[in-house]
Amino acid sequence: MRAGRTALRRSQRRQLLTLLALAGLSGRPTAQTMTPPLPPSRSTAPDTPDPRDTEDPYLWLEEVQGERALAWVRERNAESEAQLRADPGFDALRAQLREVLDSRGQIPYVSRLGPWLYNLWRDAANPRGLWRRTSLEEYRRAEPAWETVLDLDALGRSEGKSWVWAGATPFGPEYRRCLLSLSIGGADASVVREFDLVDKRFIEPAAGGTGGFHLPEAKSRVDWIDADTVYVGTNFGPGSLTDSGYPRIVKRWRRGQPLSAAVTVFEAEKTDISAWVSVDATPGFERTTFGRQIDFYRSKTWLLGPPAGSATPTAGAPTLKAVDKPDDATLAFWRERVLIELRSDWTVADGVHRAGSLLVADAEAYLAGERRLTALFSPTSTRSLAGWTTTRRTVIVNVMDNVASKLEEWAWREGGAPARGGKVSRGAWVKRDVQAPYPGTLSVGALHDPLLDRGGADGKGDPLEEHYLLNAADFLEPDSLQLGRTGSDERERLKARPRFFDAEGMRAEQRFATSRDGTRVPYFVVWPRGAKADGDNPTLLYGYGGFEVSMQPSYSGTCGRAWTTRGGVYVLANIRGGGEFGPAWHQAALKSNRQKSYDDFIAVAEDLVAQRITRPARLGIQGGSNGGLLVGAVVVQRPELFGAVVCQVPLLDMRRYHRLLAGASWMAEYGNPDDPAEWAFIRAYSPYHNVPPAEGGAAAKRLPPMLIDTSTRDDRVHPGHARKFAARLVALGHRPLYWENLEGGHGGAADNAQRSLMMALEYTFLWQTLAHAQPAA
The strands making up 263-267's β-sheet, listed across from edge to edge, are 221-226, 229-233, 249-254, 263-267
> Of residues 80, 278, 625, 711, which has the active-site annotation?
625
Q: How many helices (H) and strands (E) does the chain have?
A: 14, 39
Which residues lie across from 569 on neighbouring strands?
Answer: 539
- Whether residue 468 contacts residue 523, with contact meaning beta carbons closer than 8 Å, is answered with no
Report how far residue 129's alpha carbon sits from residue 156's, in angstroms, rounded to the nearest whole number.
Answer: 11
Which residues lie across from 321 on neighbouring strands?
Answer: 303
- Whether residue 24 contacts residue 31, with contact meaning beta carbons closer than 8 Å, is answered with no
Which residue type does 430 have? V
- Whether residue 535 contacts residue 612, with contact meaning beta carbons closer than 8 Å, is answered with yes
Report how far residue 47's alpha carbon sits from residue 467's, in angstroms, rounded to the nearest whole number.
Answer: 53
Beta strand 274-280 with 706-711 is unpaired
Report how far residue 629's alpha carbon sits from residue 648's, in angstroms, rounded to the nearest whole number.
Answer: 9
Which residue type does 419 have? A
> Of residues 299, 658, 746, 756, which has the active-site annotation?
746
In 3D space, the residue among 177, 168, 173 whose CA is nearest the CA of residue 198 turns out to be: 177
At 249, which helix (H) or strand (E)?
strand 249-254
734 is catalytic: no
Whole-Å CA distances, 579 to 101, 212, 582: 28, 42, 5
Helix H segments across 550-625? Answer: 557-562, 583-587, 595-610
Beta strand 404-414 with 394-401 is antiparallel
Report how far residue 560's alpha carbon sits from residue 231's, in angstroms, rounded to the nearest whole number.
Answer: 45
Q: What is the DSSP string of 305-320?
A: ETTTT--S--SSSPEE
Which residue type does 249 have? I
Report how far residue 689's alpha carbon sits from residue 55's, in angstroms, rounded to the nearest whole number.
Answer: 11
The strands making up 383-390's β-sheet, listed across from edge to edge, are 383-390, 394-401, 404-414, 427-434
Q: How many residues would you count in the chain? A: 777
625 is catalytic: yes
Measured at the alpha carbon of residue 619, what is the angle toward residues 613 and 625, in degrees to the nearest 5?
Answer: 125
Report how far residue 111's alpha carbon sits from residue 118's, in angstroms, rounded to the nearest whole number.
Answer: 5
CB atoms within 10 A of CB 124: 13
Catalytic residues: 625, 746
